[in-house]
Amino acid sequence: MSLPEPRYAVNSYSTPHNTVFEDIEQVARTGGQGVGLWEGKFADGGPAVDERVAAELAAHGLGTSIAVPALHAILSIPFDRPGVPTDPQERADRICASIERLARFSPQVVAVAPGTSGVAGEPVGPLEDVLRVLPQIADTAAACGVQIGLELLAERRGATISTLPDMVAVLDEVGRPNVGIMVDVFHSWCEPDLHARLRRYADRINSVQVCDVKPQERGGFDREYPGRGRGAAVEFVATMIEVGYTGYWELEVFSDDGTYGDAYPDSYWIQPHERFLAEAKAAFDDTWARATALVEARREGAVTA
């Protein structure tokens, strides 16, 4: 089967001990085509840092995949930093300011999360606050010429919106064409009828994050390389290939070494980040090969979708 080579990227959240400049250098050296810039790593040097980030991306031939504001959730999330506002309007104002800053890097999307409590059965809310401020965020992004990737988070992680149909309903109510859905293997792998829903709502999905899921998940910061563990990424990638997704395939692997409160003894972050990135790229390449083989098998009727 002939397919274009995937555009592989890495989100800066995956490398907590790197600077943004180390991310750019190491992602380029390990075979990436893009970096998911997290504004929190700009620390904060203002326009001078922005200029240098843009120059380094260009020098290494990298694009920007999913750009993440320093504060990117409308409602609270478990790793909010001390002192950040809790009022959704104040948070939305900060997100809008970040969008105006990050737009210069021409990201595929700017990530915005509705919010999550981190606790299954205790969804953060209310959803009405998301619906109230999302139009402002979308209009700011539209004025900057960028798309919003509204992050679909897991019910088991306490998300206020946790299924594709519910997210589509939110998008329909907000009514802004520059807002699409960001899907992530970690959050969506166990959604009922996931692959039928990915096909049904493919035109609403504008960004993808790839990792995999541990057989015994220890927390939100305990993820696996693509194709490892439950191996959910293979079928996920195959389905997204079939529906015609052509954007960045962005790696986001959390593997807590104590950075977020849980020092897992088998954390991938214990080793140097460049080694972690090389291993992750190899795992993605294997996942891509297995996914394309699965697509071919489905086309030949050997495997039922």
The more confident residue out of 117 and 248 is 248
- Percent of the chain past pLDDT 90, that is, above it, reads 88
* 58 located within any domain: yes
Looking up residue 133, the CATH number of its domain turns out to be 3.20.20.150
Mean pLDDT over 249-263 rounds to 97
* 88 located within any domain: yes
* 61 located within any domain: yes
pLDDT at 1 over 60: no
The token pair at 33 is: 């085509």
pTM of the model: 0.95
pLDDT of residue 191: 97
Instruction: Give 113's DSSP letter.
Output: B
pLDDT digits (tens, 9 = 90+) for 144-175: 999 999 999 999 999 999 999 999 999 999 99
* 304 located within any domain: no
* 3 located within any domain: no
Mean pLDDT over 53-76 rounds to 97
∠ CA 144-138-236, rounded to 5°: 105
Query: What average pLDDT does the structure give for the chain?
Result: 95
Count structural domains, the chain: 1
pLDDT of residue 57: 98
* 2 located within any domain: no
Q: Which residues pair with 8 in a beta bridge?
A: 249
- Residue 76: name the closest of 132, 157, 149, 17 by CA: 157
